[in-house]
Structures are given as structure tokens and as C-alpha cells.
């Protein structure tokens, strides 16, 4: 008698997820939404205001898990639509390439990227957004900042879990770090 394996089930129960989080790194995507001018130069960076994993309110980029049998592009689109709304119109190429890989640890001193829930490996992307954004579900607000504002002391002070470093890396990857 053979065991049937359900390879299409992408959801774990809360108990199963807690068990996995304590035993293996999870794969995530981080998306830094940007507005660009007609030449493709980044003019604004979008950041969400939401409750972080540690319970505090923080400015963050779009982030979320890649599900079983889900393409990275599909995970990006799902999280961008969930957080920015269905009319955001993100421009994600057919075969997206991350600008960096980020490792989130339960100990903030390891990499500067922190998630108290688990160890996660995240592929990070800069994603131009051309449509109207309206934050949905978990996001309390979405604000757009110029590159200089996005790395200013005031805005960096509102970020947690290393997202300030992620925004700096994103801006550097497109030649827009002030």
C-alpha cells in the first residue's frame, strides 16, 4: 500500500507552521515598491505602516512567504496585490531576479535582519508600481517617500526588522541611494 502525498496543499495549519518555523528556514519575498519617472529613475519608495511580528507598528516593505509549488513571480504578485490593492499594477518581469538575498534571524545581532518568529531567507526585489494603490488587509497605511526621505533619520526610526537596510540596499541597486 502506498501513501498518497498531497503536493497541491500550500497551507499549513497554525500548529504545523509553528513546528516548521522552529526547524527549517522559510522562503520569503520582499518587494520594495517604487514609482519611476519616464526615464525609469526611481522617484518615490512606497512603505507600509503595519504591525510587525514583535507587535510594534513599523514602516515596512511588502513581504510574505512563498507557498508550496508557487513560482517566485506569483508570490510577488500575490503579496503586492494583497498589500497594495488590486489596482497597483506592479511591473514584475516574467523571470524576476532579486537584487539581494536577505536572511532574517530570531537573533537581531546575526545579520541585522530580524524576525522573532523564525529564520527566513528572502529574495528581495525592487518593483515599479504604476497604478493606484490602496493598502488592504494587514496594512494600516501606505506612504510614498522620495529616496532622500526614505533613508532619512525620521523614516528610518519608524522601521524595524532591518527594513531600513533593505530600503538602502534597494536604492543602491538602482543607483538612487542619496
Classify domain 25-173 at the CATH class level: alpha beta
Tens-digit pLDDT profile for residues 47-104: 999 887 677 899 999 999 999 899 999 999 999 999 999 899 999 999 999 999 999 9
Q: What is the pLDDT of residues 14-35, one digit of tens each?
A: 888 888 888 888 999 999 999 9
User: Nearest to residue 114, comparing CAs of 155, 36, 60, 178?
Assistant: 60
Domain boundaries, the chain: 25-173
Amino acid at each position: 500500500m502506498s501513501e498518497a502525498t498531497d503536493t497541491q496543499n500550500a497551507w499549513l495549519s497554525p500548529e504545523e507552521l509553528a513546528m516548521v518555523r522552529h526547524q527549517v528556514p522559510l522562503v520569503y519575498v520582499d518587494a520594495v515598491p517604487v514609482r519611476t519617472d519616464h526615464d525609469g529613475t526611481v522617484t518615490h519608495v512606497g512603505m507600509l505602516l503595519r504591525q510587525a511580528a514583535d507587535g510594534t507598528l513599523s514602516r515596512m516593505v511588502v513581504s510574505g512567504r512563498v507557498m508550496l509549488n508557487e513560482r517566485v513571480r506569483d508570490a510577488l504578485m500575490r503579496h503586492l496585490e494583497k498589500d497594495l490593492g488590486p489596482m497597483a499594477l506592479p511591473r514584475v518581469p516574467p523571470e524576476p531576479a532579486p537584487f539581494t538575498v536577505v536572511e532574517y534571524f530570531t537573533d537581531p545581532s546575526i545579520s541585522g535582519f530580524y524576525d522573532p518568529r523564525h529564520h527566513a531567507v528572502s529574495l528581495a526585489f525592487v518593483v515599479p508600481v504604476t497604478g493606484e494603490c490602496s493598502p488592504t488587509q494587514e496594512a494600516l497605511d501606505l506612504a510614498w517617500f522620495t529616496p532622500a526621505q526614505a533613508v532619512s533619520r525620521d523614516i528610518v526610526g519608524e522601521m524595524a526588522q532591518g527594513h531600513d537596510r533593505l530600503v538602502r540596499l534597494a536604492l543602491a541597486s538602482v543607483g538612487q541611494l542619496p
